Structure 1
Amino acid sequence: MKDRILAIDIFRGMTIVLMILVNTPGTWSNVYAPFLHAKWHGYTPTDLVFPFFLFIVGTSIVFAYQNKKTNAGTYKKIAIRSLKLIGLGLFLGAFMLSFPFIKDFSEIRFPGVLQRIGVVFFFASILFINLDWKKLIGVSAILLIGYWLLMTLVPVNGIESTLDRAPNNFANWLDVKVFGTHNYKPDYDPEGLLSTIPSIVSSLLGIFTGLILLSKQKKKATILFGLGGSLLLIGHLWDFVFPINKALWTSSFVLVTAGWANVVLALIYYLTDVKKIEFGSIFKYAGANAIVLYFLSSCISKVMGLIKVGETSLHGWLFQNIYVQEFISLETSSLLYGLSVVAFYCLLAYVLYKGNVFIKV
């Protein structure tokens, strides 16, 4: 794309690298707190990773569809890409290393990360090519406020709704009602049905950032810093009545994570596209095949967890025999394992990029 901005590629790559890192520790029993999700309300650096990716999906939509017309061909391409992402996600949810290579049907998880990316991409793209920025702001406000009212005012089975992890939490109740045993947890799914609605706004907010970057505005980095700070302030104020929560993808969570995304992207943009400081090439390589790297890392991680080596798995054997050492803590060993996995996929990303291999989903 002639208008390609280096900061976007680096930001996307950094996000996918962090996704792989937090998903593949040496052991979940020993992980440093910043690399774990918040138990319920609140957020950690790890909770920023997935919304960052949805945000950059929105930013990328601006550059990919800025001149697209609203015709059947465009809608078809958007729908096909969305279905591919959903299909890959469902495959990951069903994949097991045993005949016939799928779990028992009752254990298959229907929601998931790639499924949510597919759904969000579909709706964000359709909205972008049909509405101007003013109407997109209106849609975003309606979705966020509507979700807030829905989650706090609608009773569940005649019981006042709650935002705690409980049967009368409307989003959790709906996931169990619709998906039954096909959730991540017995009582809820962090990529559930109702919480997908506000996650669309995570991408729409990325679209606004893309429009700023594409505009002829001067001092774009300053504008993005200001926008990010404003979203952070509003999100943290909203937190008092609608707590920041990734599992529920609350409206305050949407604003806070988009705020941080703008701040981080503004910093990268200032360094790379304004000051022309060269850094982050490895992230650019990873960003070029982001979905492929995520999909492969998820598949290979599952395989390594299923291959038996003695009384443990291949994953467990490698961790225990290579990374666990008396002179370092288990948390450090666990982190080193994750960094080794990241190094492998960064190397793969480099090889693909230099070989001009770009696998588009």
Structure 2
Amino acid sequence: MIKKQRVQSVDFLRGLTIMLMILVNTPGDWSHVYTLLLHAEWNGLTLADFVFPFFLFIVGISISFVYKDKKGDWTIYKKILMRSLKLVALGLLINVFLPYFPFIETEAIRFPGVLQRIGIIFCVASILYLNCNRKQLIFIAATILIGYWIWLAYIPLPNGASPILERGVNNWANYLDYLLLEGHIWKPDYDPEGILSTLPAIVTTITGIFVGEILMSDTKRKLVLLTVMGGGFMTIGYLWSIFFPINKVLWSSSFVLVTSGYATLFLVLFHYFMDHKKRDFGSLVKYVGANAIIIYFSSMILAKSFYLIKVNSQTSIHQFLFETFFVYPSIDKPLSSFFYALVVVAFYTLSAYFLYKKKIFIKV
């Protein structure tokens, strides 16, 4: 995206999303997570559940910005494929990383992951955008969401069992993950970045593409259009949730629409103040967005190192830091855990500031 095309509100939302990702992923104590940062037990929405769909939504906006004038340029496909493979490779590296030597037994590797999903969806959504017009994209998105609902809710499993939308072996998403990735998923009965749920996640990115096209258009009523679009997504999503509950693990069709609706309306708010009214705020947040992937990747690698490296035979670096500097009798454990996560976010925010001021931008 060339400089004159920079949309400050998008940079701000990207940086804010990465900061929330780190906040959710690095509590001081996983046994005492601050309530606000917990994912929904199964159905429902919490603050933590918004983070990943918001990022995929922003990926879609970026695709519409970057590839707007690239349709028909066949050389771009190699760049798309290489970037996707790099994202997948970084995600797998997080899963296999050990601080002393970055490889472990292959049977213990978790194949799915956040960066893996981003890489796959970026590739698919980019190719769709380069080869489809708006009506075709709408048709594809609607077909995926409706087809996914029918698949999960109504098509019997190969074992003859009726499908369920709860956690268990007769849930189609869980069934396929266990069948194809047994031993390589997050938990025995489900993976939040599993195979089948990647399909509706593509639609989350497509909704971002639609929003990006409006942001880059010359229409003077873009804020009104985006507000109507966001409200429409949420209305349809909440109505759909009566039949297909909002669920992040399954990435249900209602989850796609509701989270995309919220993302659109938040972007409208930020766009009004930052791009329309030209209010300059949130620079630190935007610095995080300028190196989003490398900041997220570094946070995951360092967090894993802190858990695995011991300061003595029983205490990890993470445990030592948390118990030494954040645990006090007068403070509840979940609140101490939250303070630890805030400090981690502050550390990476300052790191992003340093990279930005040194004009270091690490692109994947």
TM-score band w.r.t. shorter chain: over 0.9
1:332 is the counterpart of 2:335: yes
Q: Which residue of structure 1 aligns with residue 133 of structure 2? A: 132
- The one-letter amino acid of 1:29's match is S
Q: Does 1:167 align with 2:183?
A: no
The residue type equivalent to 1:270 in the other structure is Y
Q: Which amino acid aligns with 2:34?
A: Y
Q: Which residue of 2 aligns with 1:154?
A: 155
CA–CA separation in structure 2 for the residues paired with 1:31 and 1:314: 19
Query: Which runs of structure 2 are paired with 1:296-335 in the superposition (5 Å)?
Result: 296-310=298-312, 311-335=314-338
* Corresponding residue number in structure 2 for 1:354: 357
| Alpha-carbon shift at residue 352 of structure 1 (Å) | 0.6
Q: For each residue in 1:329-359, what CA deviation from the matched residue of structure 2 results, as whole angstroms up to 9, or x when unmatched? A: 1111111100100001000100111111111
Output the CA distance in 1 between the equivalents of 2:178 and 2:334.
34
- 1:91 matched to 2:93: yes
The CA distance in 1 between the partners of 2:63 and 2:287, in whole Å, is 19
The 5 Å alignment of 1:13-92 reads 13-92=15-94
SS at match of 1:309: coil
Shift of residue 152, structure 1, vs aligned partner:
1.1
Residue 225 of structure 1: how far off its partner (Å): 1.9
* 1:32 positional shift: 2.1
Question: Residue 120 of structure 1 aligns to which amino acid in structure 2?
Answer: I
Give distance in 2, aligned partners of 1:221 and 1:30.
Answer: 41
Aligned to 2:105: 104
In structure 2, runs of 5+ residues without a counterpart are: none
Q: Report what 2:224 is aligned to.
A: 222
Length, aligned pairs only: 360
User: In the alignment, residue 313 of structure 1 is paired with which amino acid?
Assistant: S
Question: Quick one: which amino acid aligns to residue 104 of structure 1?
Answer: E
Three-state SS of the structure 1 residue aligned to 2:75 is helix
Whole-Å separation in 2 of the counterparts to 1:239 and 1:203: 20
**Structure-1 separation of matches of 2:72 and 2:80:** 11
Q: Distance in 1 between matches of 2:178 and 2:130?
A: 34
The Cα of 1:210 is off from its aligned counterpart by 0.2
What is the CA–CA distance in structure 1 between the aligned matches of 2:287 and 2:161, rounded to whole Å?
Answer: 51
Aligned to 2:11: 9
Q: Confirm whether residue 141 of structure 1 aligns to residue 146 of structure 2.
A: no
Deviations 1:254-279 (A, max 9, x none): 00000000011110001101111111
The answer as to whether partners of 1:24 and 1:301 remain within 8 angstroms in 2 is: yes
Residues 212-251 of structure 1 deviation map (CA, whole Å, 9 limit, x = unaligned): 1011111322322221111111101100111110000000
SS in 1 for 2:287: helix
Q: What are the Cα deviations for residues 90-147 of structure 1, in whole angstroms up to 9, with x where unaligned?
A: 111111234x432222110000000000000001100111111111111100010011
1:185 equivalent in structure 2: 187
Residue 16 of structure 1 and its aligned partner are, at CA, apart by 0.4
Once the two structures are superposed, residues 297-352 of structure 1 have per-residue CA deviations (whole angstroms, 9 ceiling, x without a partner) of 00000000001123221000100010011222111111110010000100010011
* 3-state secondary structure, aligned to 1:208: helix
Q: 1:341 aligns with which of 337, 341, 344?
A: 344
The percentage of counterpart residues that share the same residue type is 53
Report the secondary structure of 2:5's partner residue: coil
Whether the aligned pair in 2 keeps the contact of 1:4 and 1:63 (CA below 8 Å) is no
Distance 1:219 1:327 in 2: 53
* Structure 1 equivalent of residue 250 of structure 2: 248
Match of 1:239 in 2: 241
The one-letter code matched in structure 2 to 1:330 is K
Q: How far, CA to CA, are the matches of 1:289 and 1:271 in structure 2?
A: 23
The TM-score normalised by the length of structure 1 is: 0.98
CA RMSD of aligned residues (A): 1.0
Other-structure match for 1:122: 123
1:200 Cα deviation after fit: 0.3
Q: Is the 8 A contact 1:147 1:198 kept in 2?
A: yes
Maintained 8 Å contact 1:55/1:261: yes
Partner deviation per Cα, 1:123-181 (whole Å, 9 max, x = no partner): 11001111111111111000100111111122121000001001010110000111110
Q: 1:159 & 1:263 partners in 2: Cα distance?
A: 41
